[in-house]
Structure 1
């Protein structure tokens, strides 16, 4: 499939996990991909960028536009995690996570929007999480940030639908990513913790980064031109299926 031929996509958080898988898939399907992350990564254009800093974001987007002459797709994937109940995180931790996970999306979208508006295939895809619609234990701060991502996605979709820019979000279940791997490594019993994560998804396994990337590619694709304001779950049935115990 080459439906992205001639289009330029920005992928944030592109150095690993879902971001790396998405960048690879979009390139395979014909896009020119600018990968943004705190470290260099494999992309047509690798740009070091901190989505928590407006000057860094503005400079990165300007670099992409100068290199490729256009920006058609923005994948807002960069994000960080947090563990604990509502008493566990300090004010500074709350501000930091919300700054990256929520305001970071706003910064990137604000900087890229003039270019997206000029594109016949303008699209934004945000990475949300199953932690937004489902109450998960020990994820208060992270869940709050991803709930905000879900709401922001729908508001942005409403704001820009008549301007020709589609805005959607992918909602992954627990995915086999480096962040989840670090959580498991830090658990008292990593094997038991991994079994618990697999067991809470009806498929009995973690979602793969490649599976999430394919969902992102669908939402970003010009072939999905009637899809906007959609929160697409890729969660192994975690949201909609209840199996007998």
Structure 2
């Protein structure tokens, strides 16, 4: 029987590439997005997250094999907090019960190498505490200044990576036989980054901040291939890892550090 996977953010970028790759390999994919998807849901709200679960349960018949929590925003605004962190976690936690009937349940979330960049300690703390209202309020403050607005995205990805590290080995995940991991892409050529890499000068400028010595800026399918392996039946023991698919950014920026 073909595996059934749920991919959020499936209408574009990494999510679209992942959906297409899995379908090429014979999987049944339930795509989720704000438009052009089998399940239309807004992960920025509690109502949208609940609608996601109800729709996936109905479409799948109550059983899935893998979760790809990919949906995300990169704007310097509060909705980035709602989608990148709380939306991603809700996707994983609320869909987890549907994995129980799978012989090889798997889950993966898309973080970012931006987690290595400057972040806002207060926002990360509120995210880690799971206080969405307080986190959104802090993001409102940060968004008011150009110098701090960019910290929102990095903070959500740092908190998300930490959440994976803290949850992966628990009874709910590893204890239930579900490998939970994350990928941390570098610069990927998607609609999200289009304006930042539109010209050669812009690309060179961005690569000075996010160095990618191995083959430079990547296409979405590069990340999709890694995601597909992490959620495949072959992955039986990788647990709680943040796998950097960044052309070497992590190596250049962190050197000897092993995490």
The normalised TM-score by structure 2 is 0.78
Equivalent of residue 79 in structure 1, options 72, 75, 79: 72
Q: Would you say 1:170 and 2:162 are equivalent positions? A: no
* TM-superposition CA deviations, 1:148-190 (whole Å, max 9, x none): 11011112212210111111001100111111103345xxxx4
Aligned residues: 220
- Whether 1:21 and 2:13 are equivalent positions in the alignment is no
Is the 2:4–2:29 contact (alpha carbons within 8 Å) kept by the matching residues of 1? yes
Alignment equivalent of 1:223, drawn from 224, 229, 234: 234
2-structure distance, mates of 1:59, 1:142:
25
Q: Deviations over 1:93-147 (max 9, x none)?
A: 3x32211100001211222011123322111110000111244997311110100
User: What runs of 5+ residues in structure 1 fail to find an aligned partner?
Assistant: 84-92
> What is the CA distance between 1:204 and its match in structure 2?
5.2
Give runs of ≥4 in structure 1 deviating > 3 Å. 134-139
TM-score normalized with structure 1 length? 0.83
| CA RMSD after TM alignment | 2.0
Pairing 1:115–2:108 present: no
Say whether the 8 Å CA contact 1:197–1:206 is kept in structure 2.
no
> 1:90-239 maps to which residues of 2 (within 5 A)?
93=77, 95-135=78-118, 139-159=150-170, 160-184=173-197, 190-198=199-207, 200-203=211-214, 205-239=216-250
Cα distance in structure 1, aligned partners of 2:105 and 2:185: 23
With 144-153 and 191-200 compared, the bigger mean Cα shift is at 191-200
Task: Please list the CA deviations of residues 171-226 of structure 1 after superposition, one character each: whole Å capped at 9, or x if unmatched.
Answer: 100111111103345xxxx4311122345211252021010000101111111111
Q: CA deviation at 1:239?
A: 1.1
Q: Secondary structure at the match of 1:52?
A: coil
